[in-house]
A and B are shown apart, each in its own frame.
Chain A
Amino acid sequence: MNKLLLLGLIVLTSIPALAQRKVSISGTLKSRSKGETLIGATVRADGSGGAVTNEYGFYSISLPAGSHTLEFTAVGLQGQTLAVSLNRDTTINIFLADESKSLDEVTVTAATKRRSLSSPQMGLEHVSTSEIKNIPVLLGERDPLKVITLLPGIKSAGEGNTGFNVRGGAADQNLILLDEAPVYNASHLLGFFSTFNSDAIKDINVYKGGMPSQYGGRLSSVLDIKMNDGNNQDYNVSGGIGLISAKLNVEGPIQKDRSSFLVSARRTYADVFLKLSSDSTINSNTLYFYDINAKLNYILGDKDRLYLSGYFGKDRMGVGDLFGLDWGNSTGTLRWNHIFSNKLFSNTSLIFSNYNYKILINSGGYNLNIFSQIRDWNIKEELQWYVSNKHSLRMGVNSIYHEIRPGEVTPNSPNSSINESILQRRHSLESAVYLSDTWKATDNLNITYGGRLTGFSILGKGDFYEVDPSGKVTDTLHYNDGQVVKTYLNFEPRVALSYQMNATSSIKASYVRNVQNLHLLANSTSSSPTDKWVASTNILKPEISDQVSLGYYKNLWDNAYELTVETYYKTMQNQVDYRDGADVFSNTNAIEAELLAGKGRAYGIEWLLRKRVGRLSGWVSYTLSKTEKQINGINNDRWYNATQDRTHDIAIVAMYKLSKKWSLSANWVYNTGNAVTFPAGKYRSGDQILFYYTERNGYRMPAYHRLDLGATCQLKTRKRWSSELAFSVYNAYARQNAYTIEFQQDPDNADKTQAVRTALFGLIPSVSYNFKF
Chain B
Amino acid sequence: MQSRYIILIMLALFSVSCRKVISLDLNNAAKKLVVEANLTDDLNGCSVLLTQTGNFDGDNNFPTVSGAVISITDDAGVVTKLTETSPGTYTAPALVGKTGVTYRLLIAVGGDTIRSVSTMPKKVNFDQLTITADQILGNTRQVANVFYTDPEDVGHYYQFIQWKNDVKVKQIYTADNELTAGKDQQVKLYIYGGNVEDKDRLQSGDNVQVEMQCLDEAAHKYWFSAQQSATGSNNNAVPTNPVSNLQGNALGYFSAHTSQIRIVKVP
Q: Which residues of A are interface residues toward B (Cβ below 8 A)?
A: 160, 190, 270, 279, 281-282, 285, 287, 317, 319-320, 322-323, 325, 359, 361, 363-365, 368, 409, 416-419, 421, 523-525, 528, 530, 578, 580-588, 677-694, 696, 698-699, 736, 739-745, 747, 750-762, 764
Contact = CB atoms under 8 A, between A and B. Distances in A.
Top 4 nearest A-B pairs by Cβ distance?
A743-B232, A581-B225, A365-B186, A581-B243
Contacts of B186: 364-365, 417
Nearest to B139: A281
B172 A679 contact: no
Given A688-B172, A691-B230, A758-B19, A581 B14 contact: no
B185 to A, nearest CB: 5
B249 interface: no
B21 A754 contact: yes
A752 B53 contact: no
B144 to A, nearest CB: 10
B1 to A, nearest CB: 8
A745 B240 contact: no
- B29, B61, B242 interface centre (most CB from chain A within 10 Å): B29
A92 to B, nearest CB: 54
Interface string B1-32: 11101101110111011111111101111001
B17 A761 contact: yes
A684 B62 contact: yes
Contacts of A745: 60, 170, 195
B14 A681 contact: no
Contacts, number: 261
B191 interface: no
Contacts of B221: 581
B241 A287 contact: no
Contacts of A528: 2-3, 6
Contacts of B182: 419
A692 B29 contact: yes
Contact of A680 (B8, B29, B145, B236): B29
B142 interface: no
A762 B18 CA distance: 8
Contact of B59 (A677, A681, A690, A751): A751
Given A581-B224, A752-B59, A758 B17 contact: yes
Interface in B173-227: 178-188, 193-195, 197, 221, 223-226
B234 interface: yes
Interface stretch (B40-48, B73-81, B94-102, B130-138): B130-138
Contacts of A679: 26, 56, 232, 239
Contacts of A287: 9, 13
Contact of A740 (B29, B137, B228, B234): B234
16 contacts: A282-B12, A365-B187, A419-B182, A581-B242, A585-B1, A677-B239, A677-B240, A681-B56, A683-B52, A684-B62, A685-B251, A739-B17, A758-B19, A759-B17, A761-B16, A764-B16
A506 B59 CA distance: 62
B34 A683 contact: yes
A514 B230 CA distance: 36
A64 B168 CA distance: 89
Contacts of B27: 680, 694, 698
B51 A683 contact: yes
Contacts of A364: 145, 186-188
B3 A418 contact: no
Given A417-B186, A757-B20, A757-B22, A681 B232 contact: no
A705 B232 CA distance: 25
A696 B6 CA distance: 25
Contacts of B247: none
A52 B251 CA distance: 64
B158 interface: no
A757 B22 CA distance: 6
Contacts of B53: 681-683, 692
Given A364-B145, A417-B185, A580-B240, A685 B179 contact: no
Nearest to B23: A755
Contacts of A319: 5, 8-9, 136-137
Given A417-B184, A693-B230, A755-B24, 13 more contacts: A190-B10, A365-B183, A417-B185, A418-B180, A528-B2, A678-B24, A681-B54, A686-B161, A693-B241, A739-B17, A744-B193, A754-B21, A756-B195
B56 A680 contact: yes
Contacts of B241: 580, 692-693
Interface string B64-84: 000000000000000000000
B237 interface: yes
A421 B179 contact: yes
Nearest to A747: B195
Contact of B21 (A686, A698, A756): A756
B112 interface: no
Contacts of B172: 686, 688
A396 B152 CA distance: 55
A692 B17 contact: no
Nearest to B49: A684
A419 B187 contact: no
Contacts of B62: 683-684
A695 to B, nearest CB: 8
A760 B239 CA distance: 21
B185 A365 contact: yes
Nearest to B17: A760
Nearest to A588: B178
Given A190-B6, A364-B145, A523 B238 contact: yes
B229 interface: yes
B250 to A, nearest CB: 10
A287 B22 CA distance: 32
B125 interface: no
Given A687-B168, A694-B27, A761-B17, A530 B2 contact: yes
Nearest to B221: A581
A696 B240 CA distance: 8
- B28, B233, B236 interface centre (most CB from chain A within 10 Å): B236
Nearest to B197: A747
A682 B194 contact: no
A152 B40 CA distance: 59
A689 B172 CA distance: 11
A578 B237 contact: yes
A681 B197 contact: no
A417 B21 contact: no
A421 B182 CA distance: 13
A586 B177 CA distance: 11
Nearest to B36: A685
A216 B145 CA distance: 52
Contacts of A744: 193-195, 232-233
Contacts of A754: 21
B231 A419 contact: no
Nearest to B253: A685
Nearest to A697: B238
Contact of B179 (A190, A587, A751): A587
Contacts of A421: 178-179
- A325, A364, A421, A698 interface centre (most CB from chain B within 10 Å): A364
Given A524-B236, A680-B27, A692-B241, A317 B9 contact: yes
B55 interface: yes
Contacts of B52: 683
B56 A682 contact: yes
A757 B19 contact: yes
A682 B17 CA distance: 28
Contacts of B121: none
A425 to B, nearest CB: 19
B134 to A, nearest CB: 8
Given A279-B138, A587-B179, A684-B62, A325 B240 contact: no
